Amino acid sequence: MKDKILFWLGSDFTQFCVSYYLQKSHDADLYAIADITNKPKKFFQEQQLVNFKKVWYFHDHIKSNKKPDLEYLSSFEKKYNIDIWKLAINERIFYRFFNFHKFTSDEILSIDEHACRFFEQVLDEIKPDFFITKEPVFHHLELFYELCRARGVRPLVLSIPKIGFRCMISEESQKITTNKTLNDVTGKNRSFEELRSYIQLYNPSKSIVKVMKNQSGTFGTSKLQTLRAIVKFLISDNKNIKTNYNYYGRTKIRVFFYTINSILKKKYREYFMKRNLATKVDCDIKFVYFPLGVDMERNLLIAAPFFTNQIEIIRHVAKSLPVGYDLYVKESPAAATRSWQSIADYKKIMEIPNVTLIHPKIDSENLVKHCSLVVTVGGSTGFQAAFYEKSSIIFSDTVYSILPSVQQIKNLEELPKAVRLGLQMKVNNSDLDKYITLLDEQSFEIDLYEYQNKFANTFYYNSWLVDTEIHEQTLKLFMESNESTLSKLSLEYSKKIKEFKMSKIQGA
């Protein structure tokens, strides 16, 4: 009997391109939910590249103009053990980050009611065996992912496991899908010096910086792309404002002024940081290191839903330090993609006694080398700390949380004890060596950031305008030029499907 595979097709087209190559080697019935804007929709309706049995268009099924059925939503929560408000309040579109449209509670619940009913309908209709998806960054995809797990549909989530230039396909986001513990792994007896060579090779910041440089462009390339995107947006129709709740309130004039304002705020904030954030730090004193995460990202909003207020966390960490330790807080270079934090937030951090706010240009690796402990919500710095024999404290369940030198905080009241324990904790190179061995077994070399950046440059004006027409021939040429990456990714999906099917047979 053929496998039934359901794909989530997003704007980056990664899963669509995978489906194109997967159908050549894996005999299965393919289905898809397309979560896209209006202009790319035409491509999916007309394309002949992938033989999907059926494609649903997510936003065609979502309305927000009626009173929500609270009884249905309540029964849905109980039936599947999914907390709807936990996901909805952390949705960047609904709250805190955008001011194009103020969503009421009824609008939010109405949207989620339609989403839940639609998701149940799809699963009832096709009863898929596998669900292929990117790592959820919006709440509705996280909701569907959790529903699939509750319904016994096996997710295949593509993610980057806190290191650069490698990817992982797993059943749970940012979790290695294996029954092995570190005690079951035979390491390679690598010393810390040898292990540091590994993290230098797969340093996650290198792949991110590489993409950021490409996005900034050279000789005015990025500025030209931006100008083209603005002109294209202003002369095109704007149907998404009525059909896609992510675009509610985004009139052309409001988006234009929002974009200009964001550019100006970014420049002003950079000027403030240059004048006020520390550009020289004393690494000879005893200090704990807290690298800021980017607010509008999955690492905070979905992976750590109850620890999204980083300023408050910094206050609590500062309260938890023994006398004689300072707290160094560093802004992330990646925050540039979100026009940095507000100056008001920087000032709040700088006002906290015993806290130094550090400029993003300062080398994070040097801070990790010299600190006594790393505290992070769930970023890769907590993993890097182990290579420099430093323990770490995190607030989310992430891929490296199985390391004995990592403490995961569930309650802020645990911090003082955890900090003191972390300051005394010794990192064992054998544990790190075994973890790297396990990670190498469960991941594979692909620079997903670079691939997605190529796609954005080719089709989306360097990510400045996503609602663009996609032409089949152009996409086919793009896939052919990136065939080595996409065919390898398809092969990894096929291997994981076979692995899951074998484990199910063995389990039976």
Residues 407, 486 share a domain:
no
Does some domain include residue 464? no
At 221-280, the pLDDT tens digits run 466 777 777 777 777 788 899 899 999 999 999 998 998 999 999 999 999 999 999 999
Residues 436, 498 share a domain:
no
How would you label 276-299 residue by residue, b for 16+ Cβ within 10 Å and e otherwise?
A: ebbeebeeeeebbbbbbbbbebbb
Tell which of 388, 417, 440 closes a domain: 440
**The domain containing residue 425 runs over which residues?**
192-440
Q: Is 480 exposed, middle or buried (0-12, 13-18, 19+ CB in 10 A)?
A: exposed
Residues 113, 8 share a domain:
yes
pTM of the model: 0.93
DSSP secondary structure, 262-285, as one string: HHHHHHHHHHHHHHHSBSS---SS
For the chain (508 residues), the mean pLDDT of every run of 10, in chain order, is: 95 96 95 96 96 98 91 98 98 92 96 98 98 96 98 96 93 88 94 94 71 47 71 80 93 90 95 97 97 94 96 98 98 94 97 98 96 96 97 96 96 96 97 96 93 93 88 96 96 94 68
Alpha carbons 287 and 283: distance in angstroms, whole number: 8
Does some domain include residue 210? yes
CATH of the domain at 373: 3.40.50.2000
Does some domain include residue 458? no
CATH of the domain at 113: 3.40.50
Does some domain include residue 417? yes
Does some domain include residue 429? yes
Q: Is 257 exposed, middle or buried (0-12, 13-18, 19+ CB in 10 A)?
A: exposed
Q: What's the total number of domains in the chain?
A: 2
Task: Pick the closest to residue 168 from 446, 466, 478, 473 (CA basis).
Answer: 446
In this prediction, residue 218 carries a pLDDT of 39
Residues 477, 374 share a domain:
no
Tell which of 397, 418, 440 closes a domain: 440
